[in-house]
Amino acid sequence: MAQGILDGDLIKQLADVAKDEALLQGILMRTKEDPNSSELVTYAPFTLFPSPFPKAAFLQGLAVQTHYNTLVDKISQDTDFLQEALASTIEVDEFTARLFKIHQQILKEGGSQSVVLGLNRSDYMLDQKEDKTSSLKQIEINTIAASFGGLSSRTPHVHRCVLKLAGRLEESRLILDNNPAAGLAGAIIKAWELYGSERAAVMFLVEEVMINIFDHRFIENELRKRNVPTIRKQFDDVAKTGSLDQDKRLFVDGTEVAVVYFRTGYMPQNYISEESWEARLMMERSLAAKCPDIHTHLVGTKKVQQVLARPGVLERFFPAQPEVVQQIRATFTGLYTLDMGPEGDRTEQMALAEPERFVLKPQREGGGNNLYGSDIIQVLNAVRGTPERTAYILMDKISPATVQNYLLRRDAVLKVSHCLSELGVFGVYVRQGREMLMNECVGHLLRTKSSEHSDGGVAAGVAVLDNPLLL
Taking a C-beta distance cutoff of 8 angstroms, is the pair 463, 94 a contact? no
Residue 451's pLDDT is 87
Select which of 137, 154, 285, 302 is catalytic: 302
Residue 100's pLDDT is 98
| pLDDT-above-70 percentage for the chain | 97
Q: Is 370 annotated as a binding residue?
A: yes
Q: Which has the higher per-residue pLDDT, 357 or 458?
A: 357
Q: Is 124 annotated as a binding residue?
A: no
Q: Is the dihedral of CA 22, 24, 25, 28 positive or negative?
A: positive
Q: Is 328 annotated as a binding residue?
A: no
456 band by pLDDT with thresholds 50, 70 and 90: low
Give the residue-averaged pLDDT of 240-259.
98
Taking a C-beta distance cutoff of 8 angstroms, is the pair 38, 30 a contact? yes
Give the residue-averaged pLDDT of 319-329.
98
Select which of 120, 122, 134, 147 is catalytic: 147
Per-residue pLDDT for 459 more than 70?
no
Give yes or no: 224 in active site. no
Q: Is 140 annotated as a binding residue?
A: yes
Q: Is 367 annotated as a binding residue?
A: yes
Give yes or no: 121 in active site. yes
Per-residue pLDDT for 1 more than 60?
no
How many other CB atoms are found less than 10 A from the CB of residue 455? 16
Per-residue pLDDT for 408 more than 70?
yes
Per-residue pLDDT for 228 more than 50?
yes
Residue 7's pLDDT is 81
Select which of 19, 121, 232, 280 is catalytic: 121
Q: Is 449 annotated as a binding residue?
A: yes
Measured between alpha carbons, how far is residue 287 from residues 43, 116, 226 in Å?
Answer: 39, 11, 22
Select which of 171, 365, 389, 457 is catalytic: 365
Which of the four CATH numbers 3.40.50.1820, 3.30.1490.50, 3.40.50.300, 3.40.50.720 does domain 334-397 have? 3.30.1490.50
Give yes or no: 365 in active site. yes
Select which of 61, 118, 150, 366 is catalytic: 366
Taking a C-beta distance cutoff of 8 angstroms, is the pair 238, 209 a contact? no
Residue 379's pLDDT is 96
pLDDT digits (tens, 9 = 90+) for 105-122: 999 999 888 999 999 999
Per-residue pLDDT for 367 more than 60?
yes
Per-residue pLDDT for 3 more than 50?
no
**Phi–psi pair at 192, nearest 5 degrees:** -65, -45
Residue 368's pLDDT is 74
Per-residue pLDDT for 4 more than 50?
no
Residue 281's pLDDT is 98
Select which of 142, 152, 179, 439 is catalytic: 142
pLDDT digits (tens, 9 = 90+) for 124-164: 999 988 777 899 999 999 999 999 999 999 999 999 999 99
Lowest average pLDDT, out of 74-83, 324-333, 367-376, goes to: 367-376
Per-residue pLDDT for 265 more than 90?
yes
Q: Is 405 annotated as a binding residue?
A: no
Per-residue pLDDT for 461 more than 80?
no
Per-residue pLDDT for 378 more than 60?
yes
Give the residue-averaged pLDDT of 21-43.
96
Give the residue-averaged pLDDT of 424-429.
98
Q: Is 84 annotated as a binding residue?
A: no
Give yes or no: 36 in active site. no
Select which of 21, 140, 220, 222 is catalytic: 140
Give yes or no: 366 in active site. yes
Residue 453's pLDDT is 66
Q: Is 447 annotated as a binding residue?
A: yes
pTM, rounded to two decimals? 0.95
Taking a C-beta distance cutoff of 8 angstroms, is the pair 168, 225 a contact? no
Residue 132's pLDDT is 77
pLDDT digits (tens, 9 = 90+) for 34-48: 999 999 999 999 999
Intervals of CATH 3.30.1490.50 along the chain: 334-397
Q: Is 455 annotated as a binding residue?
A: yes
Give yes or no: 112 in active site. no
The mean pLDDT of the chain is 95
Give yes or no: 142 in active site. yes
Give yes or no: 447 in active site. yes
